[in-house]
Amino acid sequence: MRKIGVLTSGGDSPGMNAAIRAVVRSAIYHDIKVVGIKKGYEGLINGDIEDMNLSSVADIIHRGGTILRTARSEEFKAERGFQKALNVISIFGIEGIVVIGGDGSFRGAEKLSQAGIKTIGLPGTIDNDLAYTDFTIGFDTAVNTVVNAISNIRDTSTSHGRANIIEVMGRHCGDIALYAGLAGGAESIIVPEVPFSIDDICKRLIQGRNRGKLHSIIILAEGVLKDSHEFAKQIEEKTGIETKLTILGHIQRGGSPTAFDRILASRMGGRAVELMMEDKTSRVLGIKGNEIIDMDISEALSIKKEINKNLYELAKILSI
C-alpha cells in the first residue's frame, strides 16, 4: 500500500478530526502517502484532494467539526458521478480510502469496495445508530453536551417549579436521549423505539410534585412526535404544571470532543491503517467491550439497531 485517502462524509461529529489525525499520522509512520479528500464524496468527484503531512493534522485533536469539511452528494449516488469518482481515484493513484461517516457514507464505501477500491469505514456520527458497534465517534460528546444542558435547565426549572421537555437529536435512534436522560436523572425518557403514554408521563409529573419535587425533566428524542410544542401544551393542560420546551438542535453536533471520543477516534484511525496494510479491507471499525473490532461493511449495515432495553428499564426504575 503506497497511497491512501481519507474523507469525512454526511453529518459531522466531534472526534472526526481526531480520527483524521490518527489516519494521517499512522499512515505516515508506516511510510504510506496520505491525501485528504475534501467535502466527502463531492470532493472525490471533483478531485478536491490535497496531500497531507504531519503538520496538516497538528492542533486539531481537540476541535469539533472536520478540517476536511463534509457534504452530502447526490451526484455520487448516480452512475455518472460514481464513475467520475472512480476516475479521480485512479488519476490520483489512491489505493485505499478511509471513510469517516454514518450509515449513508458506509453505503457509499460499500459501493466503492464493490468496484474494487479498498475501503475502511470509521463510524462518525453523534446518533450512535450503527448496530454493529457499541459506540460511534461523537456520541459521547453529544451526550455530555446534553447532560450539561440538562444541568443548566434544571437550575432554572427548580427556581420556577416548572417541568421541562428537552428535545435531543438522534434521528431514528433513541440512544442520545437514553444515555443523556440516564446520566442527567431525567424523570421521563421518550425514544422512538419504545411506545409511550402521555398519561403515564403526566402521572409521574404529578406524583413528583406531590412528593415535593421542584422540577421535572423529560427527555424527548427528535422524530418521535410531529409537534413537540403541542406536546408541551398538552402536558401543561393535563397536569397544571407550567411546562417549557427546549429544542437543543445543532449545539449537539459541535464542541470539543470528550477524551472518550478522542481515544476512540485515535484507536480506530490507527487500526484502519493497519487493516489497509494487512489488505483486510471492505471493513468497518467498531468497539465492542472496549476492543476495537472490524466487520464486513455489508454485514455491519444489515444488522438492525435496537435500543438497550436493560438501560431503558434501569432509567425508568431510577426515576421513580
Binding residue per annotation — 151? no
Size of the site for ligand ADP (CB under 6 A): 17
Looking at residue 305, the DSSP 8-state letter turns out to be: P
Contact letters for ligand ADP, residues 113-152 (x by CB under 6 A) = ------------x---------------------------
By CB under 6 A, which span of 99-107, 146-154, 245-253, 285-293 interacts with ligand ADP?
99-107
Q: Is 9 in the site for ligand ADP (CB under 6 A)?
A: yes
Q: Write out the binding residues for ligand ADP, residues 274-293 only, by CB under 6 A.
A: none
How far apart, in whole angstroms, are the C-alpha atoms of residue 269 and residue 201? Answer: 43
Choosing from 48, 127, 140, 175, the catalytic residue is 127
Q: Which is nearer to ligand ADP, 41 or 139 (CB)?
A: 41
Distance, in Å, from the CA atom of 118 to the CA atom of 95, rounded to the nearest integer, reads 7
Q: How far is CA 244 from CA 120, 154, 157, in A?
A: 44, 12, 9
Give the separation between CA 259 and CA 187, rounded to whole angstroms: 28
Give the dihedral sign, CA 194/15/288/41. positive
Per the annotation, the verdict on 261 as an active-site residue is no
What is the bridge-based pairing of β-strands 118-123 and 3-8? unpaired
List the one residue from 77, 84, 213, 305 that touches ligand ADP (CB under 6 A): 77
The residue among 137 and 166 lying less far from ligand ADP, judged by its C-beta, is 137
Beta pairing partners, 293: 286
- Nearest approach in angstroms of CB 36 to ligand ADP is 17
Residue placing its CB nearer to ligand ADP in the complex, 3 or 77: 77
Q: Given the rule CB under 6 A, which of 28-36, 96-104, 172-180, 311-319 is the region that contacts ligand ADP?
A: 96-104
DSSP 8-state assignment for residue 283 = E
Q: Should residue 65 be labelled a site residue for ligand ADP when binding is judged by CB under 6 A?
A: no
Among 66, 105, 144, 266, binds ligand ADP (CB under 6 A): 105
Q: Build a one-symbol-per-residue string for 232-271: x at contacts with ligand ADP by CB under 6 A, - elsewhere.
A: ----------------------------------------
101 binds ligand ADP (CB under 6 A): yes
Strand order of the β-sheet with 188-190 is 188-190, 216-221, 163-168, 243-247
- The whole-angstrom separation of Cα 186 and Cα 136 is 23
How far are the Cα atoms of 125, 126, 255, 256 from residue 36, in angstroms, in the given order? 19, 22, 22, 21
Indicate which single residue of 8, 17, 36, 41 sits in contact with ligand ADP (rule: CB under 6 A). Answer: 41
Position with the least CB separation from ligand ADP: 104
Nearest alpha carbon to residue 165 among 220, 203, 205: 220
CA 261 to CA 270: how far, in whole Å? 14
Distance CA 317, CA 77 (A): 45
- Does 171 show up as a binding residue in the annotation? yes
- Which is it for the CA torsion 262, 141, 174, 8, positive or negative? negative
Positions at the binding site for Mg(2+): 103
Write out the binding residues for substrate: 125-127, 162, 169-171, 222, 244, 250-253
Which residues are catalytically annotated? 127
Task: Give residues in contact with ligand ADP (CB under 6 A).
Answer: 9-11, 41, 72-73, 76-77, 101-105, 107-108, 111, 125
